[in-house]
Amino acid sequence: MPTSPRPALGRAQWILRLRLPTQPLVRHVVLALGGAAILYLITSSLSPYNDFEVGEIALYVIALAGLSLLTGVNGQISLGHGAFMAVGAYAAALLMTHTHLNFLVELLASIGAAGLLGLVIGIPATRLKGPYLAGMTLLLALALPPIADKWSTTFGGDQGLTTTVPTAPGTINPEEWLAWIQIIGALIVLVLLANLLRSRFGRSFRAVRDDEIAASLSGIHVARTKVIAFVISAACAGLAGAFLGLSTGVVNTGEFPLTLSIQLLAAMVLGGTGTLMGMWWGAVLLVYLPQWSTSLSGDFNLGSGASAYLATIIFGVVLIVVMIAAPTGIQGGLRWGWGRLSALGPRPRFGPPSVPERPGEALHLSRTAEK
Amino acid sequence: MGREYAMRKGEAMRHSKHTSMGRYGRALLTGALGVALGATTLAACSSSPKATTTTTANVPGVTATSISIGATVPLTGPAAPGYDEIAPAMDAVFSWVNAHGGVDGRKINYTYLDDGYNPANTATLTRKLVLQDNVFADIGSLGTPTQAAVQGFLNSQKVPQLFIESGCNCWSDPRYPYSSGWQPPYTVEGKILGSYIKANFAGKKVGYLYQGDEFGNDFVKGLDMEIPSASVVSRQSYDAATLAGPLSNQIAALKAAGAQVVAMATIPAATALAMLPAAAIGYFPQYVISNVGADTPTVGPLLSSFTQKGGGSAAQAKAATGLLNGVITDAYFTPEADVSNPWVQVEKKLLQDYAPSLYAKSGLDGNTQYGIALAYTFVQALQAAGKNLTRAGLLAAIAAHGKDFVTPGFVPLSYSSSVHFGFQGSEVIKLSSTAAPAVTPTGSWIGSTPVTPVEVTDIGSAPVTKYTGPTSTPPTNLVSTS
């Protein structure tokens, strides 16, 4: 334990003294509860429509977090996450239509179904890299929806399958209740993923991303690790898909166009590839950017032809600006900014990397970094 | 050695974990705070949460001087071309109404939002219209998958979802009393065209080519009710989402089966993508095409442009439009080519006066005509509902008086408390190069002549019968005197 003398902090720097528990699970749960408290304050003060949007943000956070794990942490790319969302959505909707199972069981089924497809896709994916993997997952996003159209009696065709949200308790309005189901889902997923990333699995994911041969030499089963990452990522998308089905009210193939998969990837990059918290930024942009661009085009009195494509243009511009200003995404930029900010004040003991006290430890650190 | 390494590795891990913990923790905290800040700002930006607009008798979207209505339509994406004209054409009618003092002193504010034909967008935007903008009703929204997505929500909120721009059989459903269609259901069209095939092409081999979704399936259901199954030799479908090239396989199968009559439930692009490869292999069956797929101002130019893209010369491209000559289809209101018709005259004048830029772009075609007629149906519904406007009152007024509304349709609207379909009849027509052509800004297109009297039926077992009632004429005041 490094112990540096703690300088007297000014009033404004109290926030720098905040400590979180060191045990990962406890820490992540504490953070999630804090987040839940803040989100509760937000949702209870918003209109039902804004609550609905917060719920949408939460569901996209789930899909983006899974994608962030796959791409940012494990180094595999996917242009087919919309398809995994579709599988999760259809699995939940089929159960809702034909059975009267517990709501949680239906959600678990959507996670399981998407995870299973993730396994089927993940195994051949271990042999593919970069553009080939992108191509294969892209094909998935293209090929899956027509299957649902083909068997329209099972999958409901154009009208789709109706989803049902459990009745809201008490006087809570349905939008706020749905938002809470989605927020709780998102927070649980984030806690589990954050924990996973701090575990042996997380380290294996990163090791495989950085150098497969070195990882393999260290005793990591590379193929298995990649498949596990794919399954987890697909399972997250499955849950997000089930939640999207709940928001939309029905599940049909029109909800899962190719653009959804591409927008997910772009939002993930914007938020900060490989981060989990950054996915909140990505999801906020995914939900709000089209609306902002619509009101913007309204302000400038653009014709419907021009305004229609403004959202896409703005999304592109934001992507370019963020990539120039903060190559590690919004979350990366914020971390950097926060680092600069805290460097201005008296140095807290946990701020910059502290100098190890024992020389041997330092030596060892540098040795492991050499590999 | 190994053990030592493992221990050291463990130490290193703990160490790095410890040093990065603070940064990690604070980043998470910043994120959470940032989200909180961001969300509250957003809330502040969005228009007055929890605030309700001033209404008379507490009817959402209705004040003493205004009525707010909304819709979601495709303004971008694959469904946009052509269909993006409908909502602006509707708005022209509302501008005309507003210029004449509105309905019962209330001006109509029409907000139409672009859902890009994606049901997930429809779900969000419809909630925005209902929960945030407090619209009185959702009028003239387009699409089967898109409107099916919000049918449950709108009915649970008791918001009228009227005159949905789709011929799905699903809009007249007792579980969803607040929904209703407007155009003929595809099954009705299928029955009318099927009965024509049965009567006029008896003994000939019939093949189907249909879109593999609700549109195609409902249409085929109608065909099958009329055409004896023994004479149907081939059933081919295509997927709208992946429609990119000529439907050569389907055409080859139809030709191989010896189909002499091909009944098609296709969108305009698919009509062109079927006719061209058929002509290329010397296959010229009698085409019988749904109203949607035989819109000449849309299909004609597509036949030309696909021919040119396929390497054809300009002369070949021009000649390709000739494939439409002799095609059998159906129409449920006066074709725009019939310039002597009073409806066509007032519709043209209305567009010129109240949507000049739309008129310059599209002219009076099937889509703008559709929008004008649909909007005028809604205006009459408002008039019938009277001064004390409520959502339930509007529905009751349509059920009671819908049959008397004047429209350019050949048959009256069939609304009642149990039937939520609009037109349930049409006239079979033959496209003909010798008939008066349709004139659009992009050129003049093939005209048409009726081959049957106007016929009516329903989506169930009712037979196809001749309609003997009157057709309505436009009100004299539909066009301003400006």
Q: With CB atoms and an 8 Å threshold, state whether A20 touches B25.
A: yes
Averaged pLDDT, A203-230? 94
Q: With CB atoms and an 8 Å threshold, state whether B29 touches A34.
A: yes
Q: How far apart are CA A27 and CA A13, in angstroms?
A: 22
Write down the pLDDT at residue A16.
62
**Quick one: pLDDT band at residue A371, thresholds 50, 70, 90?**
very low
Distance from CA of B434 to the nearest CA of A (A): 36
Q: Residues 6 or more apart from B102 whose CB is under 8 A from it? A: B65, B66, B67, B108
Q: With CB atoms and an 8 Å threshold, state whether B168 touches A53.
A: no
Does B349 contact A at CB distance below 8 Å? no
Q: With CB atoms and an 8 Å threshold, state whether B31 touches A280.
A: yes
Of B12, B31, B46, the CB nearest to A364: B12
Averaged pLDDT, A16-35? 82
Of A46, A304, A356, the CB nearest to B15: A356
Burial class (CB in 10 A: 0-12, 13-18, 19+), B209: buried
Asked whether the beta carbons of B138 and B152 are under 8 A apart, the reply is no
Q: With CB atoms and an 8 Å threshold, state whether B123 touches A38.
A: no
Of all residues in chain A, the one with the smallest CA distance to B79 is A254
- Residue ranges of B 152-171 with Cβ closer than 8 A to chain A: 152-153, 156, 168, 170
**% of chain B exceeding 70 in pLDDT:** 84
Does A255 contact B at CB distance below 8 Å? yes
Does B356 contact A at CB distance below 8 Å? no
Position B53 pLDDT exceeds 80: no
**Mutation site for B-interface testing, chosen from A248, A287, A342, A371 by largest number of B Cβ within 10 Å:** A248
A339 interaction partners in chain B (CB closer than 8 Å): 23
Lookup: tokens for B291: 């109203």
What does pLDDT average to over chain B? 83
**% of chain A exceeding 70 in pLDDT:** 84
- Residue ranges of A 272-301 with Cβ closer than 8 A to chain B: 277-278, 280-281, 284, 287-288, 290-291, 294
Position B191 pLDDT exceeds 90: yes
Distance from CA of A197 to the nearest CA of B (A): 12
Partners of B138 in beta bridges = B70, B161
Of all residues in chain B, the one with the smallest CA distance to A155 is B213
Distance from CA of B127 to the nearest CA of A (A): 6
Does B78 contact A at CB distance below 8 Å? no
Q: Residues 6 or more apart from B93 whose CB is under 8 A from it? A: B350, B354, B371, B372, B375, B376, B379
Of B16, B49, B213, the CB nearest to A149: B213
A145 interaction partners in chain B (CB closer than 8 Å): 241
pLDDT in tens, B209-263: 998 888 899 999 999 999 999 999 999 998 876 777 899 999 999 999 999 999 9
Q: How many CB pairs under 8 A join A and B?
A: 205
Q: How far apart are CA B96 and CA B24, in angstroms?
A: 61
Q: With CB atoms and an 8 Å threshold, state whether A368 touches B9.
A: yes
A248/A300: higher pLDDT: A248
Write down the pLDDT at residue B353.
92
Lowest mean pLDDT among A142-156, A229-243, B111-125, B411-425: A142-156
Lowest mean pLDDT among A104-118, A149-163, B284-298: A149-163
Position A301 pLDDT exceeds 70: no
Give me the numbers of helices (H) and strands (E) for chain B, helices first please: 15, 16
pLDDT in tens, B276-330: 999 999 999 999 999 988 888 778 888 988 898 888 888 888 888 889 999 999 9
**Pairs from B279-285 (Cβ < 8 Å, separation ≥ 24):** B279/B320, B279/B323, B281/B251, B281/B252, B281/B255, B283/B251, B283/B254, B283/B255, B285/B207, B285/B254, B285/B259, B285/B260, B285/B261
Lowest mean pLDDT among A85-94, A102-111, B180-189, B354-363: B354-363
Asked whether the beta carbons of B368 and B384 are under 8 A apart, the reply is no
Lookup: tokens for A79: 């242009």
Q: With CB atoms and an 8 Å threshold, state whether B28 touches A31.
A: yes
DSSP3 helix / strand / coil % (chain B, rounded to 5) = 50, 15, 35
pLDDT in tens, B127-146: 999 999 999 999 999 988 89
Position B362 pLDDT exceeds 70: yes
Q: With CB atoms and an 8 Å threshold, state whether A52 touches B131.
A: yes
Q: With CB atoms and an 8 Å threshold, state whether B76 touches A308.
A: yes
Distance from CA of A17 to the nearest CA of B (A): 10
**% of chain A exceeding 90 in pLDDT:** 44
B17 interaction partners in chain A (CB closer than 8 Å): 198
Instruction: Please give the helix or strand (H or E) that residue B281 lies within, else none.
Output: none
Q: How far apart are CA A81 and CA B342, in angstroms?
A: 54
Asked whether the beta carbons of B105 and B31 are under 8 A apart, the reply is no
Q: With CB atoms and an 8 Å threshold, state whether B148 touches A158.
A: yes
CA distances in angstroms from A42 to A224, A371, B142, listed in the order given: 41, 48, 34
Q: With CB atoms and an 8 Å threshold, state whether A249 touches B152.
A: yes
Q: With CB atoms and an 8 Å threshold, state whether B241 touches A146.
A: yes
**Quick one: pLDDT band at residue A86, thresholds 50, 70, 90?**
very high
Instruction: Please give the helix or strand (H or E) that residue A62 lies within, else none.
Output: helix A48-68
Distance from CA of A119 to the nearest CA of B (A): 26
Burial class (CB in 10 A: 0-12, 13-18, 19+), A203: middle
Write down the pLDDT at residue B39.
44
Write down the pLDDT at residue A346.
60
Q: With CB atoms and an 8 Å threshold, state whether B241 touches A255.
A: no
Q: How far apart are CA A351 and CA B204, in angstroms?
A: 85
What does pLDDT average to over chain A? 84
Write down the pLDDT at residue A167.
85
The closest alpha carbon to B25, from A162, A24, A36, A324, belongs to A24
